A = this chain, B = another copy of it.
Amino acid sequence: MFQKRTSIAQVEESDNLAPKFDENGLIVVTTIDSQTKEILMIGYMNEESLTKSIETKEAHYYSRSRKAIWHKGAKSGYVQKIKEILIDDDQDSLCMMVDIGENGASCHVGYKSCFYREIDLEGTKNKPGLRFKTTKKVFDPNIVYGDEPNPTKL
Instruction: Show the binding face of A for B, using Cβ within 8 Å.
Output: 1, 3, 5-8, 11-17, 20, 28, 30, 32, 37, 39, 41-42, 54-55, 57, 82, 84-90, 93, 95, 107-109, 111, 114-121, 125-133, 150-154
Contact = CB atoms under 8 A, between A and B. Distances in A.
Q: What is the total number of copies of this protein in its complex?
A: 2
A115 B90 contact: no
B118 A89 contact: no
Contacts of A85: 118-119, 121
A106 to B, nearest CB: 10
Contacts of A17: 119, 127-130
A16 B129 contact: yes
Main secondary structure of the interface of A (DSSP, over half): loop
Contact of A28 (B42, B90, B130): B42
A30 B54 contact: no
Given A30-B30, A131-B15, A86 B42 contact: no
A93 B42 contact: yes
